[in-house]
Amino acid sequence: MEAQGRKHTPAWSTKEVVELTAEWGEESVQAELRSSRRNSDIYAKIARGMGEKGYTRDTDQCRVKIKELRQVYQKTREASSHSCSAPQTCYFFEELHAILGGDGITTPRTLCGYLPGAPCDLEQQRGGHC
């Protein structure tokens, strides 16, 4: 049973996330995000761009998904920064690194974590992470 007042949001497909990162990563969008404290208009612009590509995601859905992607990326970077751990990565790491990173750290080589809506590899399925 869903909580009162909350809508069920369909899972994001891999293609949708790729398109979302493309919209989010546009230089004009990044410039606006850096220069503005109130980002609702910018997320609305991203949602409109998604709509132009045939996806039906609203402003809040785009904002929440971007927040989730940012958190997954930051946790992956944090896990990779420990000198005793193997480099780690997550789904869409390269796209996220192009948007959020770019400080010259080595690109991680092993998969970690689970991103809802992302395809699972056989090892993750065996481990019960899908």
Tokens of 110: 């092993």
- Which pLDDT score, from 0 to 100, does residue 4 have? 60
Residue 118 included in any domain: yes
- Which pLDDT score, from 0 to 100, does residue 52 have? 97
Residue 93 included in any domain: yes
Higher pLDDT, 53 or 112: 53
Residue 76 included in any domain: yes
Residue 47 included in any domain: yes
Q: In the chain, how many domains are there?
A: 1
Residue 98 included in any domain: yes
Residue 39 included in any domain: yes
Ramachandran angles phi, psi of 111, nearest 5°: -80, 145
The 10s digit of each residue's pLDDT in 23-51 is 999 999 999 988 888 889 999 999 999 99
Residue 18 included in any domain: yes
Residue 20 included in any domain: yes
- Tell me the whole-structure pTM to 2 decimals: 0.65
The 10s digit of each residue's pLDDT in 64-102 is 999 999 888 888 877 766 655 566 666 677 788 788 875
